[in-house]
Amino acid sequence: MTDVYDKEKRSAVMARVGSKDTSPEMAVRRMLTRLGARYRLHRKDLPGSPDIVLPGRKLAIFVHGCFWHGHDCARGARVPKANRDYWLAKVARNTARDEKAAAALGAEGWAVETIWECELKDEAGLADRLASRLALTSRDSAP
C-alpha cells in the first residue's frame, strides 16, 4: 500500500510540469471519484469557470495554487524578489477575480469550495474534509 501511494505521489509531482489536468486538480478528482461523487470539469458557462463542478449538489470547487491566488500560508507568502510589485499586483487581481466569481456563483445558488495546493500535503485530511462537505450538500441520486 505504502509503495503504491508513494509511486502515485511521485508521478504526480513529475507530471506537474505538464498540462492543466495534472497535479493538484487531478489529486482532488481522484478523491472525489473515490467518494463516489459525479463531477464535470471547467464549466466555462459558470462564473470563474470552476475547476470541478458537482452539478447535482450545486457545488463548485476551485483548486488554487497558493502563490497565484494569494493563500495565507508560507507558500503563498513567497513572493519573488525580482518584480515584486508586478507579482503582488497580479496576485491581487487573481484574488479579486476569485472573490467576484464566488459571489456570483453564490448568487446563482452554488456552494463554493476552495481547495489550496498546500492542503494536498495532507491527503487524508483533505479527503475527510471533502467527505463531510459532500455529506452537507444534497445528493442528486439518493436512493
Residues at the interface with Zn ion (CB under 5 A): 66, 71, 73, 76, 116, 118
Residue 130 C-beta: closest distance to Zn ion, Å: 17
Rounded to an integer, what distance in angstroms lies between the CA atom of residue 65 and that of residue 134?
Answer: 22
Give the span between the Cα atoms of 85 and 134, in whole angstroms.
39
**Unique residue bearing C-alpha cell 515584486:** 84
For the CB of residue 36, give the shortest distance to Zn ion in the complex, in Å.
Answer: 27
Nearer to Zn ion, 29 or 71 (CB): 71
Query: Which one, 79 or 118, has the nearer CB to Zn ion?
Result: 118
Which of 54, 57, 30, 48 has the alpha carbon at shortest distance from 102? 48
The phi-psi region of residue 134 (left if phi > 0; otherwise alpha if psi is between -120 and 50; otherwise beta) is alpha
Query: Taking the alpha carbons of 95, 97, 102, 103 in that order, is the dihedral positive or negative?
Result: positive
**Which triple of cell numbers denotes residue 30?**
481522484
Distance of closest approach, residue 122 Cβ to Zn ion, in angstroms: 12
Which is nearer to Zn ion, 66 or 102 (by Cβ)?
Answer: 66
Q: How far is the CB of 121 from Zn ion (least distance, A)?
A: 9
In whole angstroms, the minimum distance from the beta carbon of 51 to Zn ion comes to: 16
Q: Smaller CB distance to Zn ion: residue 111 or 118?
A: 118
Would you say 39 or 116 has its CB closer to Zn ion? 116
Distance CA(48)–CA(44), nearest Å, equals: 8
